[in-house]
């Protein structure tokens, strides 16, 4: 049961987490009354949370009542990766020109954490650090627009649940080692303030990552046959930063804007 002063925000965060984790049905619509009863709140905060999630393109209202999670297919994921390529190549060029020394130090520290997790055999920790690397570059652009666009693209990729398929691939460890090395190369170009080199390395990295996402999508587990919200299992690592706030949030702890009058969360 949710116990908080802002029930709308908590309902939003909880439902968004369920969408990311694949526990919000794709087929059988869930009614507001069902969600309210399960979360232990009235229908009003649930209704406003669903309205926000629908505006972000994460749930779909059904004509007969209720909502389902949006289904992200192969073409959708391809489009998201293409959009990410365009925006993130721009982002790394801006970061090479604008990043402060403190921001570059943070990017290097993230890469050290990724390398340490990799060497310890902690795939989940490596994935978290790898995602943080991309968020740190977006923050180093100093552009709110770039941060916003990348946050929405990252979220769209998360909704595809492709990272669950990533974990199923036997080559995951070797691919993660490759990605960590590529991140280190991008960071070196940023440190040298070499925008063209950083852009070229980021473009090559994202092309490889996009291919991996596509092959991983087929391995994503399907939803429960009952169509009900599946019970939560504890993740093996902290949820991605984007899973803890609305679309515009890149920082680890951001909450959605206050609900409008009469109005917790839904792609490295």
Averaged pLDDT, 65-88: 85
Tens digit of each residue's pLDDT (9 = 90 or more) over 152-208: 888 887 776 545 545 555 456 778 898 999 999 999 999 999 999 999 999 999 988
Q: Determine the Cα–Cα distance for residues 33 and 184; give it in Å rounded to an integer.
A: 49
Sign (positive or negative) of CA dihedral 120, 122, 123, 125: negative
Query: Which tokens sit at 93?
Result: 């060029």
Pairing assessment for the beta strands 67-69 and 59-61 based on DSSP bridges: antiparallel
Say yes or no to pLDDT of 121 above 70: yes
Q: Determine the Cα–Cα distance for residues 72 and 79; give it in Å rounded to an integer.
A: 11
pLDDT of residue 58: 83
Say yes or no to pLDDT of 92 above 80: yes
Residues 187 and 108: beta-carbon distance below 8 Å: yes
Range from 62-76, 104-118, 157-171 carrying the lowest mean pLDDT:
157-171
Q: Which residue has the higher pLDDT, 145 or 257?
A: 145
CA distances from 180 to 40, 95, 97, 110, 175 (A): 42, 19, 23, 10, 9
Averaged pLDDT, 5-15: 83
pLDDT of residue 267: 42
Say yes or no to pLDDT of 244 above 70: no
pLDDT of residue 255: 36
Range from 28-32, 183-187, 230-234 carrying the lowest mean pLDDT:
230-234
pLDDT of residue 198: 98
Computed over every residue of the chain, the mean pLDDT equals 77
Averaged pLDDT, 86-115: 97
pLDDT of residue 160: 66
- Domains of the chain in start order, with CATH, are 1-69 (1.10.10.10), 74-217 (1.20.120.530)
pLDDT of residue 161: 55
Query: Which tokens sit at 78?
Result: 């391809």
pLDDT of residue 212: 67
Q: Determine the Cα–Cα distance for residues 100 and 39; give it in Å rounded to an integer.
A: 43
Q: Which residue has the higher pLDDT, 82 or 103?
A: 103
pLDDT of residue 76: 79
- Tell me what percent of the residues of the chain surpass a pLDDT of 90: 37
Q: What is the pTM of this model?
A: 0.67
Averaged pLDDT, 41-59: 88
């Amino acid at each position: 049961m949710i116990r908080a002063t802002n029930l709308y925000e908590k309902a939003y965060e909880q439902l968004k987490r369920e969408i990311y984790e694949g526990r919000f049905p794709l087929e059988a619509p869930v009614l507001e009354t069902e969600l309210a009863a399960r979360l232990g709140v009235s229908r009003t905060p649930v209704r406003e949370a669903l309205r926000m999630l629908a505006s972000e393109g994460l749930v779909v209202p059904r004509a007969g009542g209720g909502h389902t999670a949006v289904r992200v297919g192969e073409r959708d994921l391809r489009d998201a990766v293409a959009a990410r390529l365009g925006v993130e190549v721009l982002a790394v060029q801006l970061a090479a020109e604008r990043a402060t020394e403190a921001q570059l130090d943070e990017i290097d520290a993230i890469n050290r954490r990724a390398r340490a997790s990799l060497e310890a055999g902690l795939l989940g920790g490596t994935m978290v650090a790898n995602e943080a690397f991309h968020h740190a570059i977006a923050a180093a652009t100093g552009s709110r627009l770039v941060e916003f666009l990348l946050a929405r693209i990252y979220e769209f990729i998360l909704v595809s649940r492709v990272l669950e398929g990533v974990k199923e691939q036997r080559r995951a460890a070797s691919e993660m080692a490759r990605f960590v090395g590529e991140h280190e190369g991008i960071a070196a170009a940023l440190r040298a303030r070499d925008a063209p080199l950083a852009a070229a390395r980021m473009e090559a990295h994202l092309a490889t990552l996009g291919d991996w996402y596509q092959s991983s999508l087929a391995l994503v587990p399907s939803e429960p046959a009952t169509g009900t919200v599946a019970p939560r299992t504890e993740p093996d690592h902290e949820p991605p930063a984007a899973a803890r706030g609305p679309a515009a949030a890149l920082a680890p702890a951001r909450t959605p804007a206050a609900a409008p009058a009469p109005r917790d969360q839904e792609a490295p």
